[in-house]
């Protein structure tokens, strides 16, 4: 069950996930119309889209996200990733719409509360390769932070592969601190408050 903090987000059932071999929207549509980004809670019915997106992400992005070389999400993992409770395990999906083209799922961010430290949650995020570098990851984190704070989560943790320069850059910009005995993985702690709250959503913290 999702908390009422999500009531401002429209649910969309007409979602498809961007395939890496699909053409990008024509520049002309971008020139004439701004893309509309919808961020909403992930639903169990998104499972097939999540699997499709995973299979079509670049091997490097998959590796950075899951720290493994899996080519397909096992059914048990897919079930876990898409059946969230909205309180201790929250996942948001970003859906982009360009003009009259069908909506496209472009990213997911989630947190899972730590049982031993309820004010802390493990953070994970992925944006499909073609949509990276356009601010969607940052926006997903902002929205996830709104939900986290509403549920009493004040710190995100994240285990980041040392070679993942993009997410390290993103975390450094948020004032996150990193540590780790294993040089290949850096354990970050991110204060949720460091994530900017979009003004239009600030009332949700009241």
Ligand X SMILES: CC(C)(COP(=O)(O)OP(=O)(O)OC[C@H]1O[C@@H](n2cnc3c(N)ncnc32)[C@H](O)[C@@H]1OP(=O)(O)O)[C@@H](O)C(=O)NCCC(=O)NCCS
Q: Segment contacting ligand X (CB under 6 A): 2-10, 27-35, 60-68, 191-199?
A: 60-68
193 touches 185 (CB < 8 A): no
- Shortest separation between residue 123's beta carbon and ligand X, angstroms: 7
Between the alpha carbon of residue 101 and those of residues 19, 33, 137, 178, the distances in Å are: 14, 11, 22, 41
The residue (of 3 and 63) whose beta carbon lies closer to ligand X is 63
The residue (of 135 and 175) whose beta carbon lies closer to ligand X is 135
**Angstrom distance (rounded) from CA 192 to CA 68:** 27
Q: Could you say which residues in the range 161-200 bind ligand X, by CB under 6 A?
A: 164-167, 169-170, 173
- Shortest separation between residue 140's beta carbon and ligand X, angstroms: 8
Q: Which residue is nearest to ligand X (CB)?
A: 137
**Angstrom distance (rounded) from CA 185 to CA 159:** 6
142 lies in the site for ligand X, by CB under 6 A: no
65 lies in the site for ligand X, by CB under 6 A: yes
Burial class of 134 by CB neighbour count within 10 A (0 to 12, 13 to 18, 19+):
middle
The residue (of 1 and 172) whose beta carbon lies closer to ligand X is 172
Query: What string marks each residue from 99 to 138 as x (binds ligand X by CB under 6 A) or -?
Result: -------------------------xxxx----xxxxxxx
Total binding residues toward ligand X, as defined by CB under 6 A: 22
Show the tokens assigned to 140: 């997903």
| Backbone dihedral region for residue 67 (phi beyond 0: left; psi -120 to 50: alpha; all else: beta) | left
- Shortest separation between residue 175's beta carbon and ligand X, angstroms: 12
Show the tokens assigned to 202: 């600030």
Show the tokens assigned to 114: 């730590």
Q: Under the rule (CB under 6 A), what is the footprint of ligand X?
A: 61, 64-65, 124-127, 132-138, 160, 164-167, 169-170, 173
């Amino acid at each position: 069950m999702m908390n009422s903090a999500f009531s401002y987000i429209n649910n969309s059932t007409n979602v498809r996930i961007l395939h890496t071999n699909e053409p990008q929207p024509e520049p002309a549509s971008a020139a004439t119309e701004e893309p509309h980004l919808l961020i909403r809670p992930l639903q169990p019915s998104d499972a097939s889209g999540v699997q499709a997106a995973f299979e079509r992400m670049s091997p490097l992005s998959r590796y950075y996200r899951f720290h493994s070389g899996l080519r397909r999400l096992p059914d048990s993992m897919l079930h876990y990733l898409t059946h969230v409770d909205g309180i201790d395990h929250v996942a948001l999906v970003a859906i982009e719409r360009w003009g009259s083209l069908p909506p496209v799922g472009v990213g997911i961010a989630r947190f899972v509360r730590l049982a031993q430290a309820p004010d802390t949650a493990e953070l994970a995020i992925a944006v499909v390769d073609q949509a990276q570098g356009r601010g969607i990851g940052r926006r997903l984190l902002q929205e996830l932070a709104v939900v986290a704070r509403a549920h009493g989560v004040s710190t995100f943790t994240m285990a980041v592969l040392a070679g993942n320069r993009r997410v390290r850059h993103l975390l450094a910009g948020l004032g996150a601190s990193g540590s780790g005995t294993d040089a290949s993985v850096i354990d970050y702690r991110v204060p949720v408050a460091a994530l900017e709250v979009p003004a239009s959503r600030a009332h949700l913290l009241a």
